[in-house]
Structure 1
Amino acid sequence: MPLERIFDERDINELLTQNAGGEHGARNAALILSGVCWGLTPLEQSLVSTESVIAPNGQLYRTWVLPSHESYNGKSRELYTEDHLVPFFQKYIDVRLKKEWGTGGHSHQALLPDKPFLLNDNGERYRINTTAKGHRSAKAMHDQLRKMIKNSGLYDATPASYRASFIKLMYESGAKWTDLKGLTGIKDKRTLEGHVRPHERELESILSKIFSRVKMPRSLE
């Protein structure tokens, strides 16, 4: 059974609330939502550029493309920013402008378009490590996501829970396998099935209800 926790709406609100304080609250909200609403991996959160999510005229794209060089598997895919997410991301953009983090451009709300959209506590890109074989890892982003989970007391969750929650909620909301493959970049159906089948805490609830009202025959009492 999968070990990572799947966030529900209550969990997301708790993540947002417990990580909203201080000068990095808006950035933290943007990180949380980029995982659970865009379905980005930690590597993609580290790589996604400003010009991928913000149009030259300054508007957040409602439909946008994560390019191949910013994707975990080297394949581009189409993603969406729904209207209810815009205020969260705009708040983060406003903070970046105030702090002058990656600013100086003449478009994209004055943010430098080719720079990462999501920045660390120092206003810099999250570090990405590359092995001798060319494998990229996003330990710095993993650490940030894990820190926000700890702040919220969701101790059975992992950094993988953000994206896994996106996948499962999309499935439960009616997304087809082809939709899920397109949104996540995961081409193997068996891998997707591992994300959408009942998870541990859900399975316990399901099992507790199966034939829960059966009665002991009097002859066995």
Structure 2
Amino acid sequence: MPKEAVDIKGTKNGLIILLDPNRDFEDIKTGLKNKMESASGFFSGARFTLYHEKQLYPTEKTELESICKSYGLIPNPEAKWPLNARKSAGIPKEPVDIPGEAALLVKRTLRSGQMVNYHGHVTVLGNIHPGAKVLATGNIIVMGTCSGFVHAGQTGNKEAFIMAFQFNNSHLRIADQTLYYEPEQSFTGPVLAKIEQGKIILLAQYE
């Protein structure tokens, strides 16, 4: 027997209206109307929450909520469902927020005179040309050639690092340490710059 487009579960916190993510919106809307009609006012006055594994468009959500309200239901969008209620309704566990750190994605090449200064980590999807600067309190990753001034850990973080596909006449700083990168120091592939034993060293990352 095919799964219904809409399923309604009752919990002590109200109704959870489950919407089948594999059905199109018109099927869901028709299924919701049929559920409301077949209940013959049984749900009137109940608080409800719509649950859909995919993100509904605002207009779709409004339309479905309007159908429910026309049968006397009351929206309960801020409901936090206990784990046992979610299990009984067949709802997956809520995603867990994983602590992270501030990061900036720069989706362009930085040319002479341009500068990025960010409190956190910085990733540049492009090259850093001579005369360009990138300053960060965290790590700096360059998805290209770094030929400018790059300062990671600028507030004193000696654990910060700089990585680039290639360094070419770069001026590198990590915390209070400085390295002028000379072209004869040649690597193929990504190169990591970090502080070891009080000075900046370069490590090839392709091996």
TM range (shorter): under 0.3
User: Which structure has the higher relative contact order (CA within 8 Å, separation 6+)?
Assistant: 1
Richer in strand (by share):
2
Tell which structure's C-alpha radius of gyration is larger.
2
